[in-house]
Structure 1
Amino acid sequence: EWEVRPGGMLVQRRDGRGDVEIITVRVATGHSWHEVSIGATCTFGELKVAVSMVTGLEPREQRLLFRGKEREDSDHLHMVGVRDKDKVLLLEDPALKDIKLRSALAGQAVQSPYRTFIEV
């Protein structure tokens, strides 16, 4: 039997069950590692969702690099060569990190420890 892969490639089906192969991707955040199990035919966008459950970092705040290149959310893991136990580097989007830092600093400025009371 033949099947069409998400990238449009026509390939011979491996077995009649059509099971999805589950792989474990090692995600490096610079100072720590996380192992995420996901379907081999999933996209990097779906991987970001799985990573967000482990790291707490929202998918839109993430940049995922594989083999030195940032991957698009629509790229399929198996199409770019991600296999079981491969490493993916997770970086926080610097633009969003800067926005979060500015809003945190603005919040601290509003919550000054000194209060002014005016009596009328």
Structure 2
Amino acid sequence: MQKLFSDVKEEAWEQVEVNFAGVDMEIVKKQQENKMRIVLGKAESVADCTAEEAAAWMFDFCSRERTTIDKAEGNPARIELIKANASANEKFFATIKKFPWYAADRAFTNKFIWRR
């Protein structure tokens, strides 16, 4: 995926209207040779909360209970990605969400960064 979108210019990203205050979202579309279109999206938001609230949210996001719920819903994967060069204030997660038979499953990669 990264190889497919590595040549995308910053101007190619289209702003998407989102119904959540403080969330900026953009998408870029790429047509493949086999006429399959791939859409990549990115969103950015700022959470105004205490360090304790952020840690509690991350603990819940990474919990075994949440992973168990995902498996019960039929989602194939939910994993933390460990990167050798990652900073102490960032984490990476990948999730595959199961969609109905007429749509392909979707893969999501999240990068969380904490800063003051």
TM (norm. structure 1) is 0.23
Q: As a proportion of its length, which structure holds more strand?
A: 2
TM (norm. structure 2) is 0.23
Max Rg structure: 1
Structure of greater relative contact order (alpha carbons < 8 Å, 6+ residues apart)? 1
